[in-house]
Structure 1
Amino acid sequence: MDIINRVTDLIQANLVSALDKAEDPEKLLNLLIQQMQQTLDECRSTAAVILCEEKALKREQAQKQVSIDSWQTKAELAVAKGRDDLATAALKEKQHVSDELAAIEPELVKLADSLKKLQDDAQRLQSKLTEAKAKQASLQKVHNLLDARMRVNHQLNSEKIADALSRFDVIERRVESIESQVDAYDMTKTQSSTAEQIDALVKDEAIEQEFAALKVKMKQTA
């Protein structure tokens, strides 16, 4: 069956190796998941068809068994009535139906085998699909992370940030200039105050010396 062959091919596919060789792993993975899901849906549809055929054959099998029993009863009745010719005809019909009944059993076995293989392959394919979806989620996380990093890098490299940093540098230089002026003023003021105090001391000393000389002169005059 084509469906079983497709299931086998998908199950045997080396997912990791295929992704490593792919130029666009995410795109390939999405395609594989789509194929797996479609094939899995076909598996279920095919299984439903097989089950219907199996039920139909079992109904036919039961009907033929009833027919065999009926021909057997008719053959017995014909013998009891002394109609050997009818009994022989009834037995021939019974044999014909029996042959048809015997042909049904191999068909049922074949359907059962196909259904079993299809169910096993579908289960394995479901496991493979789960693995692929987990890988898809992992790749999506990586993609989201890279996308977030790209957005951050773009923002960090944007002209707005560069302009803001440039303006900040200008403001910072102005603040430093003002601080330097204040420091220079404080330093000059301190130096000026010190000089004034020293001048005052010098003046005081001169006055004291003049006062002392004046007292000496007045004593000499007296």
Structure 2
Amino acid sequence: MGIFSRMTDIINSNINSLLDRAEDPEKMIRLIIQEMEDTLVEVRTSSARVLADRKQAARRVEQLRGEADSWDEKARLAIRKDREDLARAALQEKRELEEEISAVDAELAATDEHVAHLNEEIGQLQQKLSDAKAKQKTLAMRNATVDSRIKVKRQVHREALDDAFTRFEHFERRMDNLESQLDVMDLGRDVSPGLAAEIDALQEDERLNDELARLRREVTGEGRTGGGQA
């Protein structure tokens, strides 16, 4: 594809449509801008060559006109000297030069029209490039805004989770405290009430046995000394 046809395609392209179809709009806009900048450099280089060729052609026209004027003077001189043959030859040279001048003038006119068209398209390409760069800035700002919103939402979500975990831990501590209070209330209840009563009864029975033994000794005289007999 030639430079100028590529430039025309870029100028006629719809950047928004290209970005809408792209999977990665940021990458796409970078490629578009790079293509535009490269094309702009190539077009300006080609335009510089065209302008240089035009200047050379313009100098050629001036040279041809000078030569034509010189042959016209020579023809006049030949007429004054009654040399019509020389005058005719001089006029023939002049005519050939004028034909070449006409051809170069036509070339210059076409070149001027081409340069004017190039200037117009370069202006349009520069406008497209400015639009693309503005679009790139907009995309960058949108991405930055989206990233910021995502970070905020993640932070809010994180804080909500942290708050939920804090409340849950607080609830767990309350449950632990309540369970501990219940455990304290149950301390000592592992010993059966009947067992405690039985132990108390054994202690009481032991006291009674001791008391009975004492009374038996007193009644039977057991444990008295032998000095009490006659």
TM-score between both structures, scaled by the size of structure 1? 0.67
Runs (5+) with no aligned partner, structure 1: 179-222
Partner of 1:140: 140
State the Cα distance separating 1:4 from its structure 2 match: 2.5
Superposed CA deviations along residues 42-91 of structure 1, whole A, max 9, x for unmatched, are 22222222222222111111111110110011112122223333222212
**Structure possessing the higher radius of gyration over alpha carbons:** 2
Q: How does 1:1-222 map to 2 (within 5 A)?
A: 2-151=2-151
Separation in structure 1 between the aligned mates of residue 166 and residue 19 of structure 2, nearest angstrom: 49
Q: Which amino acid aligns with 2:51?
A: L
Give 2:12's aligned amino acid.
Q
Asked whether the 8 Å contact 1:71–1:91 carries over to 2, the reply is yes
- What letter is aligned with 1:22? A
Q: 1 or 2, which has the higher helix percentage? A: 1
The answer as to whether partners of 1:40 and 1:122 remain within 8 angstroms in 2 is: yes
Secondary structure in structure 2 of the residue aligned to 1:23: coil
Determine the C-alpha separation between the residues in 1 that align with 2:116 and 2:171: 79
CA RMSD of aligned residues (A): 3.2
Q: Is the 8 A contact 1:4 1:121 kept in 2?
A: no
Give, in angstroms, the shift of residue 168 of structure 1: 9.4
Are 1:75 and 1:87, in contact at CA under 8 Å, matched by a contact in 2?
Answer: yes
| Counterpart AA for 2:73 | T
Amino acid at match of 2:99: D
- Structure 1 residue matching 2:23: 3-state secondary structure: coil
Percent of residue pairs bearing the same amino acid type: 38
Deviation at 1:134, TM superposition (A): 1.1
TM-score, normalised by the number of residues in structure 2:
0.64
CA distances 1:115-146 after superposition (whole Å, capped 9, x unpaired): 11111111111111111111111111122223
In 1, Cα distance between equivalents of 2:62 and 2:10: 39
Question: SS where residue 82 of structure 2 aligns?
Answer: coil
Q: How many corresponding residue pairs?
A: 176
Q: Comparing 128-137 with 46-55, which one deviates more in the overlay?
A: 46-55
Residue identity opposite 1:84 in structure 2: E
